[in-house]
């Protein structure tokens, strides 16, 4: 496996902090991925004991004898970009679960899918104070999740609960799923560098994009407000070519600091003005490209019955 170097520096594996690099064992098997929060002493000790390799991306930081661990994250948007890049694969799907249909809800993340037995592997639910929510094998949980255009609701059986290398659970996806189309234009999770200009030019990251609008992340100190007319510039890559985008938009929503892992980042919703046809086509193609990359076993598991029925009908 390329891209690895020996030795794991314990200075950078801190309790309650995101892991700054992926850690692998002596057989070069992944123990914990970059960006995951080390939330227990047991996990930290396991990484220190069994971790033999780290990803090379942060070698220069790790090699600095006087560098403090806090030096890893210098820019809140850079940290957010690293985090979204780490989760930009299909596992970034979130599932909202609750023990009862109207009970306390929790957000879990999909980290794996088995289409063979229609099983989702999710991070275990936790409360805002990071206390784990009790989950046991055989329980039924109410689940809700979204894809680009549709919301899915179903009741899932807990098949398994695990604790290493992190807390997780296996949920069986039932045959019958309630589906409701909620938007005409698909949206894709993105991690796209951009600038937003009002009177000042602000560095931003596009994190949720469609041909009609975008959700952007900016530094918490940025002076952006609902109602502002803005110009957005970004560059997307399609078919090996770079396409510069110039988009005019209005800030229609100020979400604020809504991600606990990124307290120094605020999010805004922007609605695009009517786009030139060429720009609209490029933007649409980019969104579809991102959706294709994200459409893995999760989508297959949720639409398996539809696909099977379609095949049977042909």
CA–CA separation, 262 and 154 (whole Å): 30
- Beta-ladder partners of 219: 265
CA–CA separation, 167 and 130 (whole Å): 12
Do residues 269 and 253 lie in contact, with contact meaning Cβ atoms separated by under 8 Å?
Answer: yes
154-186: b or e for each residue (b if 16 or more CB lie within 10 Å)?
bbbebbeeeeebbbbbbbbbeeebeeeeeeeeb
Residue 160 has pLDDT above 80, yes or no: yes
314 pLDDT band (50/70/90 cuts)? very low
Domains and CATH numbers, the chain: 4-72 (no CATH), 90-184 (2.30.110.10), 188-294 (2.40.10.220)
Locus of tokens 């055989």: 138
Query: Which carries the bigger pLDDT value, residue 159 or residue 37?
Result: 159
* The pLDDT of residue 296: 52
Answering whether pTM is above 0.75, one says: no
Give 182's contacts (C-beta < 8 A, 6+ positions apart): 146, 149, 150, 151
Segment 11-54, tens digit of pLDDT: 667 776 777 777 877 777 778 777 777 777 778 788 888 877 77
Q: Which two tokens stand for residue 259?
A: 């991600």
Over the chain, what is the mean pLDDT?
Answer: 79
Closest CA to 132 of 168, 93, 87, 172: 168
CA–CA separation, 237 and 298 (whole Å): 25
Segment 184-227, tens digit of pLDDT: 778 888 889 999 999 889 999 999 899 999 999 999 989 899 99
The predicted model gives 88-114 an average pLDDT of: 77
Query: Which carries the bigger pLDDT value, residue 92 or residue 155?
Result: 155
Calculate ∠ Cα 290-294-300, nearest 5°.
135
* The pLDDT of residue 285: 94
* The pLDDT of residue 69: 45
* The pLDDT of residue 24: 79
CA–CA separation, 76 and 73 (whole Å): 7
Residue 272 has pLDDT above 90, yes or no: yes
Segment 284-302, tens digit of pLDDT: 999 988 877 765 545 555 6
């Amino acid at each position: 496996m390329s891209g690895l170097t020996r030795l794991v520096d314990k200075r950078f594996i801190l309790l309650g902090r995101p892991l700054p690099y992926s850690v692998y064992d002596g057989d070069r098997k992944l123990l914990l991925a970059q960006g995951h929060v080390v939330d227990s002493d047991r996990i930290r000790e396991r990484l220190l004991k069994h971790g033999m390799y780290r990803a090379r991306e942060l070698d220069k930081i790790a090699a600095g004898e006087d560098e403090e661990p806090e030096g890893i994250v210098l820019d809140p948007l850079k940290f957010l970009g690293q985090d979204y890049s780490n989760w930009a694969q299909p596992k970034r799907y979130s599932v909202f679960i609750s023990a009862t249909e109207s009970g306390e809800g929790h957000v879990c993340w999909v980290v794996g899918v088995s289409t063979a037995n229609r099983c989702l592997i999710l991070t275990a639910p936790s409360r805002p104070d990071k206390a784990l929510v009790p989950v046991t094998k055989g329980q039924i949980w109410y689940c809700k999740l979204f894809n680009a255009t549709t919301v899915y609701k179903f009741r899932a059986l807990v098949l398994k609960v695990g604790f290493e290398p992190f807390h997780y659970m296996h949920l069986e996806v039932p045959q019958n799923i309630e589906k409701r189309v909620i938007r005409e234009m698909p949206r894709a999770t993105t991690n796209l560098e951009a600038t937003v200009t009002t009177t000042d030019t602000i560095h931003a990251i596009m994190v949720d994009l469609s041909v009609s609008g975008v959700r952007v992340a900016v530094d918490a100190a940025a002076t952006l407000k609902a109602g502002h007319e803005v110009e957005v510039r970004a560059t997307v890559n399609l078919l090996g070519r770079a396409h510069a985008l110039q988009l005019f938009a209005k800030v229609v929503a100020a979400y604020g600091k809504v991600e606990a892992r990124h307290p120094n980042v605020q999010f805004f919703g922007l609605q695009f003005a009517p786009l030139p046809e060429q720009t609209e086509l490029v933007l649409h193609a980019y969104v579809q490209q991102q959706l294709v990359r994200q459409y893995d076993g999760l989508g297959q598991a949720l639409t398996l019955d539809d696909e099977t029925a379609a095949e049977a009908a042909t």
